[in-house]
Each structure stands twice: as structure tokens, then as C-alpha cells.
Amino acid sequence: MGRWFEEAVFYHMYPIGMTGAPRRNEQGEVSHRFEQLMKWLPHIEALGCTAIYIGPLFESTSHGYDTRDYKLVDRRLGDNGDFKEFVEDAHARGIKVVVDGVFNHTGREFFAFQDIQKNRENSPYCNWYKGVNFGWNSPYNDGFGYEAWRNCFELVNLNLWEPKVREYLLEVVGFWIDEFDIDGIRLDCADCLEFSFMEELRRFTNEKKADFWLMGEVIHGDYSRYIGPHMLDSVTNYELHKGLYSGHNDHNYFEIAHTIRREFDQNGGIYRGLKLYSFVDNHDVDRIASKLQVPGHIYPVHTLLFTLPGIPSIYYGSEWGIQGRKEGANDDPLRPAVDLDEVLKDVPDPELLEWVQTLGRIHKEQPALSDGTYQELLLTNRQFAFARVLGDEGVIVAVNNHDKEAELNIRVPLPDKKCESLLDGETIEVQDGMLHIRLLPNQSQIISMV
């Protein structure tokens, strides 16, 4: 048995969007929208998900990443007591809870920035931010300048070399662990954070809570730089995310297979032994149902999400094929309000929902899908088969992205084992060390070797 997060299936919740909360936090009163979010827990459990990544949650001004108060749940969602109840209910269902840690920048309404606005050079917080300069002006006409995240001046970059900033942020993490019993943090913009800060955070959380998960949002570069016993447990696998949709749109399974070989091959894969966080969409990228040129490809895409090396994650609503594309810089279409009660009365794509539930069940029942080594067995542009082998057992996965039926002859890596479909329980005969199977268009087969 590995650590809980290495075997987890995540459900990704963007609460400001899914509850239909106002996009600007201009209300004085607390709105108790966690009542809506609590209704999702039985659905998440039924999907076979064992962990939730929910965020952003900190009190903020607009989209959630312009933090106003690190120790308050955003009033558009509820209060700290509401979130505590949410975590307790999730834990009672055996579901871990991970929140967003937005530690690269704050919003302009954060107390330290407001103190600089008020007291200028005399503020004790001048060193809390990068590039504070009283010799020039910001686009907001503050009478001073500062370094902003990607020149978005509503996001002010924290100076993580300032000891008091680190001390404050570690105190914040301790508060969320002590107050809410959270199980991990997803570090926003981890590729912008100082490595020494992440190392310090690792030491701190190790002492606070055993098996506390640290996952970083990293898009480009060498993911292995961020992962290790002294650093993070995992990062986002954007490289695989790209391959999963474009490999289907181009009818090119070579792209996906090359990505997995490069990352996880036992003889030279650059991330072998690491558990990266896999996804087909999230709150920052177009929905997978809107990206795929062939709607039926959504089935093999999800098969690969759950069975290739990695920690799979489902973004809310994608389990029934919700659509959504960015509109310029506007991410709202990716983060719609959803009335779950109404959706479940008349599910838009019940077959897809059932398939995701099936994949969640199989992932939980087959340890090889979490911990097994990867072996490529068959590869063409339109068909792909591989195994996940753990000791003397394993799983074979085969997918077909063609619009025609395909017949596959697949080498069995454990030839003395019984092969049985995990979808319908049928025994599949092995002849001369080969499996012969037929796949319909966009169909998958998942076979146990025991």
C-alpha cells in the first residue's frame, strides 16, 4: 500500500463558479453556499473519487487568486464553520480534502499591501513584496510601483526571501491544518515559488501532519525539479494533458505513447517512480468535451486518464460532458454554475457518467493502476494497448480511436495468468502468449491478469 494520494482519484471543485457566486466580492454579509457544495459529496463518492481538490477558498476580491484574507473562507461561499463541516462530512465518507495555497501573490486588499499604500516608506511591510519602488507609479496610481504576476497588477508578487513572509505563510498553513484538518495543499503557480520556500514548507507540514500532500501547479519545464522527499509530492502533468486531447484529435496514439515513454518508461523515463497529477481539463483550460473534434473520443480519453501512470482528476461536470471554452481572457465559461440536483434528474450524458463511475471503481479495485510499472504492448495511430504490472498481477488496457471496428492481437506480459475483462467479467483466451480482442469505434477494454 502506498500513501493515500498515490492511490487517489481526485475530484476538482471550483466553488466560486459551481455555486454561481458573484464574480466580485462586494457583499458585506456571508452567503452560506457550502450547503450547495455539501450536496456534491454523495455524487463524488459514487464516482469512486477518494479525494477532493477544492479552491480557491481564501477570502478574495474576484476570481479567488487575489487573496484578501488567508484565514477566512471567502464570504461568498460561507464561513469557516461551514468549511469545517464540509471537511468532516468528506472525511466521514473516506474522502480527503486538498485546498488551494495561493502563496506567490496577494490581492491589493491584503492588509500588508494596504499598509504600504497608507504608510509608504514607513510601512513595516515594504519588504513583503517584490520590487516595491517609490520612484515610479503603478497602473492603479498608487504613487509607487511593484512587481505583479504576469503584469496583472491586481496580483502583487510576494517576496518569499523575506523571513517574515515565510513565517506568516507557514502560520497560515498550520492554521488550515489545525482548524480544518485539511489533507494537502495545491500550490498555485509553483513554478514561480522559491525552491527553498517549498523545502521549508515540506519540513513544516511533515511535522504537522503525516502524509500531508503537497502538489504544485507547474506547466512547463522539468517536473522532477519540484518533486522529492524534501520538496513536493507531485505536480500537474500538463505534458500528458496536451497529448491526451491532441493525440485523439490527430488520430495519433504515437504522441500519447511517446509522452508516456519519455516520462515513465522503466528504462530511462525521466519521471519514472514519480506520481504526477493527471487531468483532461481544469479551471484554466477549455473543457475536454469542447476540445475533442470527435465527441466519441471522450470515452478512450477518460480510459487513458484513469489507467496510464499518474493520479487521475475529474473536473466538476466533465463526468457528464459539460462544454466550455475560454472567451479571450475570460475564464467564466470554464467555471459555470451547476445545480447538481437538476442535472442528476436528467443527466446530459448518462453513458459517460456511468463510464467514469466504472473507471473509478476499477481504479480503486486494481492496485496495478496506481503502482504498476508501464509496458507498451501495441501501438498504431488508431489503436493502443499497454499493461500496468505489479508483482505477479497486472492490468491490460486497449483503446481504439478509429471510427471503424478494430481487431487487435496483444502480447500478454504475464502469459501464465488468467485474463478476464474487468468490464463484463468474461474470460479472454490467451493463445501463444497473445490476446485477440475486437474493439468497436471509440471502445476500450480493460483486462485483469491474475
Domain that holds residue 333: 4-108+159-367
Task: Determine which helix (DSSP H) or strand (DSSP E) holds 399, and give its type and residue range.
Answer: strand 393-400
244 and 146 in one domain? no
pLDDT confidence of residue 225: 97
Query: Counting beta carbons within 10 angstroms of the beta carbon of residue 90, is it exposed (0 to 12), middle (13 to 18) or buried (19 or more)?
Result: buried
Same domain, 142 and 209: no
H helical segments located in 217-274: 238-249, 253-264
Phi, psi dihedrals of residue 301, rounded to the nearest 5°: -60, -45
Domain boundary residue, one of 313, 337, 367: 367
Domain-terminating residue out of 319, 350, 367: 367
Q: Are residues 71 and 8 in the same domain?
A: yes
Give mean pLDDT in consecutive 10-residue pieces for the chain, a chain of 450 residues. Answer: 90 98 91 97 98 97 96 98 98 98 98 98 98 97 97 97 98 98 98 98 97 97 97 98 98 98 94 97 98 98 98 98 95 97 97 98 98 97 98 97 98 94 96 96 98
Residue that is last in its domain, among 333, 367, 401: 367
Query: Grid coordinates representing 113?
Result: 499591501
What does the pLDDT read at residue 27?
A: 75
Looking at the structure, tell me whether residues 117 and 232 fall in a common domain: no
**Backbone phi, then psi, for 133, in 5-degree steps?**
-140, 115
Positive or negative: CA dihedral 222, 227, 232, 238: positive
- Sole residue written with cell 447538481: 340
Q: Which of 194, 444, 130 is nearest to 297 (CA)?
A: 444
Give the whole-angstrom CA distance, residue 73 versus residue 57. 5
For residue 189, what pLDDT is reported? 96
* Cα torsion through 273, 276, 279, 280, rounded to 10: -60
375 and 355 in one domain? no
The pLDDT, as a whole number, for residue 1 is: 54
Are residues 228 and 247 part of one domain?
Answer: yes
Looking at the structure, tell me whether residues 358 and 388 fall in a common domain: no
Is residue 378 located within the same domain as residue 282?
no
**Whether residues 146 and 163 fall in one domain:** no
Q: How many CB atoms lie within 10 A of CB 204?
A: 18
Instruction: Supply φ then ψ for residue 321, to 5 degrees.
Output: 80, 35
Residues 318 and 211 in one domain: yes
What's the total number of domains in the chain?
Answer: 3
Are 233 and 298 found together in one domain? yes
Whole-angstrom distance, CA of residue 431 vs CA of residue 419: 11
CATH code of the domain covering residue 260: 3.20.20.80
Same domain, yes or no: 280 and 363:
yes
